[in-house]
Amino acid sequence: MRTSPESPSPIAAPFFLSTSPLSPPTNSAGAAVLIVVREGQNDVETLLIERTIRPRDLASGQVALPGGRVDAGDLDLRATALRELGEEVGLSPEDLRAPPVYVGTEEAQIFSMRVGVFAAELSLGARAARPHSVAEVAHVFWLPKSALARTEVVARETHRGPREVEATVFSGHVLWGFTRRVLLEFFGLQPRASPGGGRPPMSDGTPR
């Protein structure tokens, strides 16, 4: 069990430089997601899920970061992200090197919702991530950062109808849209350009 927070590992540290240890309140966004990274064999890797196919679910079958909508009992957006991490892939705060840090807030246009984005690094003794709720998560996998540099154009159903979109394809998983944009920005592969994005005031009122 982790007794005190650890600093990010050297391979992950550069991506945490512009983050904040504070968390925005739940009324600043409708959902939260968590970027969980680990040191892979040759690269930094990010934990992703592929959602279960369900009728009338806008996220059905999509590749995503662990996360979801705010619940009434969540103290802040970080609590939302951590709760969803446990519900979806069975990981707890003890599986992370340190508490998640706040990256920013992005607009998820398909849901017409602002989403708080957090990041954390997996601890060395962490349990294996796995689908914890098969009703929500079909698959769990780790994406190497280098895979994001390869772009393919694929046909996808969007909130504006069928479109050809830029995507990252890895081991049969297709990453596009909101989640791909968030990761490109987090890893510095694309400038932050989200409409309405930014950092709202923190839960204790501290300006950024």
Smallest Cα–Cα separation from 111: which of 58, 45, 185? 58
Q: What is the pLDDT along the chain (208 residues), one digit of tens a residue?
A: 555 678 889 989 999 999 999 999 999 999 999 999 999 988 999 999 999 876 666 666 789 999 999 999 999 999 999 999 999 999 999 999 999 999 999 998 877 899 999 999 999 999 999 999 888 899 999 999 999 999 999 987 776 778 898 999 999 999 999 999 999 999 999 876 544 445 444 333 332 3
Give the DSSP letter of residue 159: T
Which candidate, 104, 94, 90, 165, places its Cα nearest to that of 125? 94
Q: Identify whether 184 is part of a domain.
A: no
CA dist., res. 186 & res. 173, Å (int): 20
Is residue 2 one of the residues assigned to a domain?
no
- The C-alpha atoms of residue 144 and residue 1 are separated, in whole angstroms, by 27
Say if CB 63 and CB 154 are below 8 A apart. no
> The domain that contains 140 carries what CATH number?
3.90.79.10
pTM: 0.87
> How far apart are the C-alpha atoms of 144 and 115, rounded to whole Å?
23
User: Domain range spanning residue 130?
Assistant: 24-146
